[in-house]
Amino acid sequence: MIRVMVTGAYGRMGREASKAIWNAEDMELVGAADKMGAGLDVGALIGAGNIGVVIEKDIREAVNKTRPDLAVDFTGPQAVYQNTMTHLDCGVRPVVGTTGLDPEQIEEIIRRSEDLRLGGLIAPNFAIGALLMIKFAAEAARYLPHVEIIELHHDQKQDAPSGTAIKTAEAVIEQRGDEFRQGLATEIEKLPGARGGEFAGGIRIHSVRLPGLVAHQEVIFGGLGQILTIRHDSIARESFMPGVLLGIRKAMRLERVVYGLDKLLFE
C-alpha cells in the first residue's frame, strides 16, 4: 500500500484527489494539509463519513503525524514551490498538480530530488486526453509550424497562461526549433495584450477565464489554404484522476522528479 497525503485537500482538486486515493485499492490516504478547513475530517468532504484523516494547517506537522510515502499537491502557485521543497526535505515524494512554477524552480526541485534520490512528478495536466493533445500538436508542428494556443479555464484559476499551454508550446518548439519565428515584426496592438502572450519562437498564447469552464485548450495551426485545430476539453475534474493515480504509482519507482506525465506515459 502506498501511503499518500494530499496538500490542498480542502480545495476542489484536493477533494477529488482525496476521493480517488481513498477508493484506490493499492493506496492509503493517511494525511491532509490545507490552510483552509483545518481540523475537518477529509471523509466529510468526499462523502465517505469520518475516516480519521484530519486536515492539518502545517505541512511539516501533517507529515510528522502521518509519515506518508508520497504527497499530492493541489494548492496554489504562491505556495507550490515551498510545499514541494518541504516534502522533499521531509523525505516525501512529491506529485505536483499545481501549476505556476517557473523553469528555474522546476530545475531546482529536480536537482534537489536527484541529491536525495527521491522520485516524484510535476504534471501541468493529468488528463490523458490533454497529454495526447500535446503529443499530436508536436507532431503537427513538423508540417504546420505556424501555431497559436487558446487555453480556457474557470475563473478561479490564478495563473495564466496555464501549465498545459506552456507545456504545449515547449513541445512545439522542440519539434520545429526556436529559430522559426512567426508573426509580423511591425504588428501593432491597439490594446496591449490583445494578441496574447508571446512565447519562444513567437507562439502566441491566449488565456480565457470564465465561470462555467473547467479546463480546455485549442491548438490552432495555419497553413496555405488550411487550418488544423486540435482541442481537448475536461468537463469535470474526475477526468484528471486516472492520471493522478498513475502518477502516484509511477513516482514510487523513480529516483528523481520528472516534469510532465507524458514522460512516464509515452516513453
CATH number corresponding to 2-118: 3.40.50.720
**Maximum alpha-carbon separation in the chain:** 62
Answer left, alpha or beta for residue 4, where phi above 0 means left and psi between -120 and 50 means alpha: beta
How far, rounded to the nearest angstrom, does the alpha carbon of residue 105 sit from its chain's CA centroid? 14
Give 190-243 pLDDT, tens digit per residue.
Answer: 899 999 999 988 899 999 999 999 999 999 999 999 999 999 999 999 999 999
> Is residue 146 annotated as part of the catalytic site, yes or no?
no
pLDDT of residue 200: 85
35-47 average pLDDT score: 95
Q: Helices 103-116 and 80-89, interaxial angle, to 10°?
A: 10
- Among the options 153, 167, 206, 216, which is catalytic? 153
Domain segments of the chain: what residues?
Answer: 2-118, 128-236
CB atoms inside a 10 Å sphere around CB 105: 16
CA pair distance 64, 192, nearest whole angstrom: 49
22-35 average pLDDT score: 97
> Is residue 206 annotated as part of the catalytic site, yes or no?
no
pLDDT band at 185 (very low <50, low <70, confident <90, very high): low
The pTM assigned to this predicted structure is 0.85
Q: How far is CA 18 from CA 60, 77, 253, in A?
A: 19, 20, 21
pLDDT of residue 150: 98
- Among the options 35, 57, 87, 157, which is catalytic? 157
We find that the CATH architecture of domain 128-236 is 2-Layer Sandwich (3.30)
pLDDT of residue 207: 97
